[in-house]
Structure 1
């Protein structure tokens, strides 16, 4: 798998993030509930240091409910609150705001004692591409969102967005990019669309997805594509799906490009059901 990595770019990103951390009270680390480990930037804990942090598990509408609960318990055992969120319905958004207030309560009380009244709680959201940061921001801001302008010390172009509940968010789009330390991480990010399909051909990607999912989520495939439950080989599963969905070329050959895109698109859209690719038990919970 050919994945480029640019150390110079990462250093610049780290330096930018560290400089902006001084301006915020709390960092919200946004993870994909289907791949909480793979969607975590491996440098984020080092970068934010002792800054208060709140973990948000986004896209729970696409993730397996039982696995999401296990991830909540896992993070709780690690000393973090992890809030599951569905930006489609807004579920969990109020909990983000409540928890941010709880975590920063002592600091805000100290500011009041110094005569600083009604100073907004300042947040920063970090997360990899396609993890739903914009949707979270829109939910937090509500319909009356408004940029509050540059503040001293803020890199030019970075804006504060006014949120509900006397909060402000430092908007830093695209500030983080995942480091691919192993193939499994890269595959998980590719499966969920966090990185472009061009890192590997879609046929191979779809095959690897079927290979990964079919044993655990066989019923999902059977019900979605009306295929024989007794099929075991991933390629034969793809062939059966192609036949049932009409992904056929001339001379009755399988159109692997079309069926591969079909499988990937339907998995990413949740049409295969609620599926989680990583379990905390694999990390020695």
Structure 2
């Protein structure tokens, strides 16, 4: 799915993050526990270098706890990465992040120097709410929609820690086509940048396979169908998402499904697993290899020219004639 949303302020924010990175001791990346891979900004991995990174899996109360544990193990396999789970209603646990920062930067914590931490995350991941809890006061504007924070700011958390806050940043190109659907389903992009029907079909297809019992219970369906369209039709009938004459209103039922997924009414759901990630990366590598191969073939075809046998014969004769002329010129000199 193509998400056409990379506003100018995001480009500016990414540039400012790169410029401020040299002053930072530790990076804190806030992820959505329901989509740890899709909410992880690949640009951060490119510029992080060897700086320690604390990945916060926020909204863990909405995610599948078994999958969250698997994702933590997967993420911590990367050098210098530690993970921590939080939810917006557990203030006491969120405040433990301060101690984690000090422990990770123990050498600097033991000195009189300030620990500089930079916090970042995709839009609508709950970063601003987390900052307000850590600062114990309202610092960052919050809102249940993407792109609330627009400018970088520095916040003194006390305990010798200064937090560099950054705007929610997406990245210009989504390499994995599934990432766009998951970002849209979780609310990381504005609804105006997505098609509810497309996202609804994607979510329905995944949910009836990964969480069939939850879907049956939530939509009061005894036997789930095999396809997403059949499921949506049944769900629409159960919820009254119908047009005149009893026709299914697909847009309406997709909207219901997405909103209930985001709010947690469907249950604790994770939209991707580490195993899925491995398989999708393999598929992406195959697609990339095919693109390179096709490009090389086009280059070779252009180099050879799309000549008919007759044109090819005439070309060879012209080249022979030029070679003869060149040889005669050399003899004269």
- Alignment TM class, shorter chain as reference: 0.7 to 0.9
Q: Which moved more, 1:11-20 or 1:273-282?
A: 11-20
User: For residues 250-265 of structure 1, what are the structure 2 equivalents within 5 Å?
Assistant: 250-265=244-259
Equivalent residues of 2:6, 2:170 under 8 A apart? no
Query: 1:77 Cα deviation (Å)?
Result: 2.6
Pair 1:143 & 2:137 matched: yes
Greater percentage in helix: 2
Partner of 2:95 in structure 1?
Answer: 94
Equivalent residues of 2:2, 2:180 under 8 A apart? no
Equivalent residues of 1:145, 1:162 under 8 A apart? no
Task: Output one character per residue of 1:58-102: Cα deviation in whole Å (capped at 9) or x when no partner.
Answer: 110111000001111122332421101112222631332221111
Pair 1:244 & 2:238 matched: yes
Partner of 1:15 in structure 2?
Answer: 15
Query: Could you state the TM-score of these two structures normalised by the residue count of structure 1?
Result: 0.85
Distance 1:141 1:232, change over 3 A: same
Partner of 1:134 in structure 2?
Answer: 128
Task: Output one character per residue of 1:159-181: Cα deviation in whole Å (capped at 9) or x when no partner.
Answer: 3222253422122223x213311
Q: How many residues align?
A: 267
Query: 1:13 Cα deviation (Å)?
Result: 4.0
CA distance in 2 between counterparts of 1:144 and 1:41 reads 26
Partner of 2:107 in structure 1?
Answer: 106
Query: Could you state the TM-score of these two structures normalised by the residue count of structure 2?
Result: 0.73
User: For residues 1-285 of structure 1, what are the structure 2 equivalents within 5 Å?
Assistant: 1-4=1-4, 12-79=12-79, 80-90=81-91, 92-109=93-110, 112=111, 117=112, 119-143=113-137, 158-174=152-168, 176-178=169-171, 179-284=173-278
For the residue of structure 1 that corresponds to 2:216, the secondary structure is helix
Q: Which moved more, 1:165-174 or 1:129-138?
A: 165-174
Query: 1:257 Cα deviation (Å)?
Result: 1.9
Equivalent residues of 1:64, 1:274 under 8 A apart? yes
Runs of at least 5 residues in structure 2 that lack an aligned partner in the other structure? 141-150, 280-333
CA distance in 1 between counterparts of 2:85 and 2:253 reads 32
RMSD over equivalenced CA pairs, Å: 2.5
CA distance in 2 between counterparts of 1:221 and 1:173 reads 35
For the residue of structure 1 that corresponds to 2:95, the secondary structure is helix
CA distance in 2 between counterparts of 1:160 and 1:77 reads 30
Partner of 1:149 in structure 2?
Answer: none
Distance 1:277 1:220, change over 3 A: same
For the residue of structure 2 that corresponds to 1:215, the secondary structure is helix
Runs of at least 5 residues in structure 1 that lack an aligned partner in the other structure? 147-156
CA distance in 1 between counterparts of 2:43 and 2:9 reads 13
Distance 1:144 1:58, change over 3 A: closer
Query: 1:11 Cα deviation (Å)?
Result: 6.3
Equivalent residues of 1:27, 1:124 under 8 A apart? yes
Equivalent residues of 2:29, 2:56 under 8 A apart? yes
